[in-house]
Amino acid sequence: MERVVATLEKGAQCCGWSHGGRRLAVGHADGAVSVHDSSDPSTRASARWMAHTCGVINVVWIPPEFGDAIACVCADGALSLWDEIGQDAQAVTWKMCKFFEGTGSQVLDVQFGVSLTTLRMVAAYSDGHVKVYESMDPLELNKWQLQAEFQNVIDSVSRFGKPSCVSASIAWSPCRGENQQSSFVLGYNSDLSQFNSPKIWEFEEAHQRWVPVAELALPGDKGDRVHAVAWALNIGRPYEVVAVATCKGIAIWHVGLNPESDGRLSTEKVALLAGHDGEVWQLDWDMSGMTLASTGADGMVRLWQSNLNGVWHEQAALECNGVQH
C-alpha cells in the first residue's frame, strides 16, 4: 500500500508539493532548499541551494502556468521567490527572482492564486496584516506590485490593538473559471480574537478592493485560534466546501456560491470532526474535493469523508508515530 519515494536530509523542516504532486520542495533548518523529482528513495535531491541564512519554515509552489517556481518563507520573516530556469533540459538552475525583506513584521504564510491571467500572492504577516501582490510580468516573477493591504477583520472601521500572530493559514478558492471572482480564506492563530476567525475575502472589481464576504465561525467560536484551512476543489457542487481546523476540531463549512442581498455568502457548518489528539497541523483536500486528509500532533494522518447521508466521519487513519522497524 505504501512505498518510500524519497529520503530527506537531516534538518528538513517543511515540505511543499508541486501542483500535480510530482515534485517536492523541502526547506531546511540551515536555510537550504532542496527539490526532489525522483521516486527512487536512494537518489539524492535533484537540486539543493542555500536560499536564506536562517531556517526555511514554509515552501509553496507557484501555479504551473507561471513555470516551476517556489516561494520560501524564512524564520526571520523574509520571503523569497525562486524560479527554475535552464538553457537546456540538463543545465537547470534555481534562480532567485524576488526577495521580500521581513521588515518589522514577519511573513507567516503565503499562497498564490490566478485571477484571469494575473498571478496574485497573498501574504499573511505576524501583525495581522494581509498583503496582496500582483505579478507584473506573466513570464518572469521579478516584478510585483502591492495591490492591497488590509487587516483580517470584518469591521474595518474600528481600531484594534496590534495582534501578535503565531501562525496564519491561507487557502485560495481553487476555481479556475474565466469569470470566477478571485477569493481566498484566511485565519490567524493570534492573541486578538477579531483576527482569528477565518474570513473569505473577495476582490470587488467595481471598487478595486478586497471585501470580506463570509466568516467561517459560529458566534461563540470567533476567537478560536485557527491552525489550518483548506478549500476543496469544486467540480460541480452547488456550494463550496471549506475545512477549518481550530482547537475544537476540524469544521466542515458549506459556503454558498452566490452572494445574498447583503453581499455576503451564505455559510453552514455541517460537521465538527474531533479525532486528532492535539493540534491539527495541516489539511488537504483530494482532487475530487470529497476526501479531506489532516495531520496533527498525534502523528496521525486522518482521512475524512461524508457518507451518503451527508454524515462526515473518519474513513481511515494512517499511523506515522508507530513503532518502526
Partner 1 sequence: MPGRASDPGNSLVPFSPEVRDPVVYPIRHGIKTPLFRVFVSWSHGNLLNVACLQASPPESNAAAGTAESEVNIGGKVVEVRLGDGDGEINEAQRRRIAYGSVPAFAMLQSRRNSLSMMSRMASSSFRNEWWRHVLEYSNQIKDLLGTPRLPSSSVIEDPKMVLQQIEEPTSLKVAWELMEIFYVDKQSSAWLPERLVDWLADYDCILAKTEPAIYSKLVNLQKKIVNIQVIEDDPEYWDGISSALAVGWLDVVVKLLRLHGSYQLDQLGNRETENGLVEAVAVLVSTMPRMRADVPTGKLGQCYKTKPDFVKAWEKWRGHITKLECSAFWVQCGHRQTREGLRNLLQIMLGNIKNLTTSTCHWMELYISHFLFIRPFSMGLEGMYSLAQKCMQLKPSSNSSGLIGVFMGILGGNTEVVLAECSKAFGPWMVAHAMELLMATDDHADILLHEERYNLGGISMEELYRLIYAQVLSSHPLTWQIAPTYLASCSKQGLGLLEVLLYRQSAHNYRVTLKNLEICRLYELENISECIMKIAGVYYWKHGRRGSGIHWLQQAHDEVRLNRIAQQLFDCIGKSISDDSFKQWEGLVELLGSEVGTAGGLEFLHKYRDFKRSLHLVHDKKAVDAARQTVESLVQLMRSPSTPRRFWLPLLHDSVHLLNWQGRPLLNVSETTLLLSKLQELSMAKLHPDFSDFDLPPQALATVRLALAKNLRQAILEES
| Contact set for partner 1, span 191-210 (CB under 8 A) | none
Stretch that binds partner 1, among 45-53, 181-189, 255-263, 288-296 (CB under 8 A): 288-296
Quick check: helix, strand or coil at residue 291?
strand
299 binds partner 1, rule: CB under 8 A: yes
Q: Which helix (H) or strand (E) holds 193?
A: helix 193-196
Q: How far apart are alpha carbons 30 and 32 in whole angstroms?
A: 6
Contact with partner 1 (CB under 8 A) among 51, 79, 83, 192: 83
C-alpha distances in angstroms, 273 versus 38, 174, 225, 296? 36, 23, 16, 13
Candidate residues 11, 55, 102, 223; the one interacting with partner 1 per rule CB under 8 A? 11
Q: What is the 3-state secondary structure (H, E, C) of 241-280?
A: EEEEEECCEEEEEEEECCCCCCCCCCEEEEEEECCCCCCE
Q: Is 88 in the site for partner 1 (CB under 8 A)?
A: yes
Question: Which residue of 47, 96, 211, 270 would you call a contact of partner 1, by CB under 8 A?
Answer: 270
Q: Is 84 in the site for partner 1 (CB under 8 A)?
A: yes
State in angstroms the smallest separation of the CB of 258 from partner 1. 15
Q: What is the dihedral of CA 41, 42, 48, 50, to 10 degrees?
A: 90
Q: Does 104 bind partner 1 (CB under 8 A)?
A: no
Looking at the Cβ atoms of 56 and 192, the one nearer to partner 1 is 56
Query: Three cell numbers at 130?
Result: 494581509
User: Binding to partner 1 by residue 258, rule CB under 8 A?
Assistant: no
User: Using CB under 8 A, which of 66, 100, 184, 231 touches partner 1?
Assistant: 66
133-192 positions binding partner 1, by CB under 8 A: 137-139, 176, 178
DSSP β-bridge partners for residue 227: none
| Position 119, amino acid | L
Which one, 146 or 297, has the nearer CB to partner 1? Answer: 297
Q: Is 247 in the site for partner 1 (CB under 8 A)?
A: no
- Quick check: 54 binds partner 1 (CB under 8 A)? no
Nearer to partner 1, 219 or 238 (CB): 238
CB contact burial 100-134 (16+ within 10 A = b; e otherwise) = bebeebbbbbbbbbbbeeebbbbbbbbbbbbbbbe
Residue 96 interacts with partner 1 (CB under 8 A)? no
Question: Which of the stretches 80-88, 100-108, 127-135, 191-199 binds partner 1 when contact is defined by CB under 8 A?
Answer: 80-88
Q: How far is the CB of 160 from partner 1 (least distance, A)?
A: 31
Report in angstroms the alpha-carbon separations of 22 from 18, 36, 289, 312: 6, 9, 19, 29
Beta carbons of 120 and 182 less than 8 angstroms apart: yes
Range in contact with partner 1 (rule: CB under 8 A) among 46-54, 164-172, 186-194, 271-279: 271-279
> Do 13 and 46 meet the contact criterion of CB atoms below 8 Å apart?
no
Region 219-238 residues binding partner 1, contact defined as CB under 8 A: 233-238
Pick the closer one to partner 1 by CB: 9 or 204: 9
CB of 290 to partner 1, least distance (A): 8
Q: What count of residues does the chain have?
A: 325
